[in-house]
Amino acid sequence: MDHKNWILSDRIKEMPESETIKMAQMARDLNAKGIDVIDMSLGEPDFDTPNFIKEAAKKALDEGHTKYTPVPGIVSLRQAISRKLKRDTDLDYGVNEIVVSNGAKQTFANICLTTLNRGEEAILFTPYWVSYHSIIEMAGGIPVELKAGIDQDFKVTAEQVKNAITEKTKLVLFSSPCNPTGSVYSYKELEAIALVLKDYPHILVISDEIYEYINFTEKHVSIASFKYLKNHVVVINGMSKGFAMTGWRLGYLAGPDWLAKSCEKIQGQFTSGASSFGQIAAIKALEEGPDLSMKDAFLKRKEIFRDMLAEIPGFKVNNPQGAFYIFPDISYYFGKSNGINTIADSHSFVMTLLDEAHVSCVAGSSFGAPDCIRFSYATSEENIHEVVRRIKATVVNYK
Same domain, 116 and 83: yes
Q: Which amino acid does the sequence have at 101?
A: S
Query: How many helices and strands (H and E) does the chain possess?
Result: 14, 12
Q: What is the CATH number of the domain that holds 202?
A: 3.40.640.10
Same domain, 194 and 276: yes
Same domain, 214 and 363: no
Same domain, 44 and 55: no
Q: For strand 362-363 and strand 121-126, is the pairing parallel, antiparallel, or unpaired?
A: unpaired
Cα 239 from chain centroid?
12
Cα 279 from chain centroid?
21
Q: How many CB atoms lie within 10 A of CB 344?
A: 14
pLDDT at position 211: 97
Same domain, 39 and 68: no
Same domain, 31 and 110: no
For residue 28, give its domain range.
3-48+292-395
Same domain, 299 and 325: yes
pLDDT at position 1: 55
User: Each residue of 147-159: b (16+ CB within 10 Å) or e?
Assistant: ebbbeebbbbebe
Q: What is the CATH number of the domain that holds 317?
A: 3.90.1150.10
Calpha distance 21→360 (Å, rounded): 11
3-class SS of residue 80: helix
Last residue of a domain, one of 288, 307, 322: 288
Same domain, 44 and 10: yes
Calpha distance 282→146 (Å, rounded): 35
Per the confidence metrics, is the pTM higher than 0.85?
Answer: yes
Calpha distance 386→328 (Å, rounded): 18
Number of domains in the chain: 2
Please name the residues in contact with 8: beta carbons below 8 A apart, sequence gap of 6 or more: none
Same domain, 141 and 276: yes
Same domain, 297 and 156: no
Last residue of a domain, one of 288, 320, 345: 288
Cα 5 from chain centroid?
32
Q: What angle do CA 201, 204, 210 make, to 5 degrees?
A: 140
The residues of the chain scoring below 50 in pLDDT are none
At residue 329, φ and ψ (nearest 5 deg) are -85, 120
Last residue of a domain, one of 236, 253, 288: 288
pLDDT at position 109: 97
pLDDT at position 63: 97
Same domain, 106 and 218: yes
Calpha distance 319→302 (Å, rounded): 9
Summarised one tens digit per residue, pLDDT across range 272-330 is 999 999 999 999 999 999 988 999 999 999 999 999 999 999 999 999 999 999 999 99
Please name the residues in contact with 45: beta carbons below 8 A apart, sequence gap of 6 or more: 241, 244, 246, 294, 324, 378
Same domain, 14 and 112: no
DSSP state letter for 90: -
